[in-house]
A and B are shown apart, each in its own frame.
Chain A
Amino acid sequence: NAGVTQTPKFRVLKTGQSMTLLCAQDMNHEYMYWYRQDPGMGLRLIHYSVGEGTTAKGEVPDGYNVSRLKKQNFLLGLESAAPSQTSVYFCASSFLLWDTQYFGPGTRLTVL
Chain B
Amino acid sequence: AQSVTQPDIHITVSEGASLELRCNYSYGATPYLFWYVQSPGQGLQLLLKYFSGDTLVQGIKGFEAEFKRSQSSFNLRKPSVHWSDAAEYFCAVYSYDKVIFGPGTSLSVIP
- Chain A residues proximal to chain B, CB less than 8 Å: 4, 35, 40-45, 48, 58-59, 90, 92, 98-101, 103-106
CB distance from A95 to the nearest CB of B (A): 12
Query: Quick check: B98 and A45 within 8 Å, CB to CB?
Result: yes
CB distance from B33 to the nearest CB of A (A): 12
Select the residue from B32, B49, B101 with max chain A CB neighbours within 10 A. B101
Q: Tell me the total A-B contact number using a CB cutoff of 8 A.
A: 46
Q: Which residues of A contact B98 (CB under 8 A)?
A: 45, 48, 58-59, 98
CB distance from A26 to the nearest CB of B (A): 15
Judged by DSSP, the binding face of B is strand
Query: Quick check: A45 and B99 within 8 Å, CB to CB?
Result: yes
Select the residue from B4, B98, B103 with max chain A CB neighbours within 10 A. B98
Query: Quick check: B42 and A105 within 8 Å, CB to CB?
Result: yes
Q: Which residues of A contact B49 (CB under 8 A)?
A: 99-100
Judged by DSSP, the binding face of A is loop
Q: Which residues of A contact B104 (CB under 8 A)?
A: 40, 42
Alpha-carbon distance between A15 and B103 when the two chains are bound, in angstroms = 28
Query: Which residue of chain B has its CB nearest to the CB of A104?
Result: B43
Interface residues of B in 1-33 (CB under 8 A from A): 4, 9, 32
Query: Quick check: B46 and A105 within 8 Å, CB to CB?
Result: no
What would 8 more interface pairs be, CB under 8 Å, given A40-B104, A100-B49?
A45-B99, A58-B98, A90-B44, A99-B49, A100-B46, A105-B42, A106-B41, A106-B43
Query: Quick check: A101 and B46 within 8 Å, CB to CB?
Result: yes
Query: Quick check: A4 and B43 within 8 Å, CB to CB?
Result: yes
Q: List 28 A-B contacts (CB under 8 A).
A: A35-B101, A40-B9, A40-B103, A40-B104, A41-B103, A42-B4, A42-B90, A42-B101, A42-B102, A44-B101, A45-B98, A45-B99, A48-B98, A58-B98, A59-B98, A92-B43, A92-B44, A98-B32, A98-B99, A101-B99, A103-B43, A103-B45, A104-B43, A105-B41, A105-B42, A105-B43, A106-B42, A106-B43
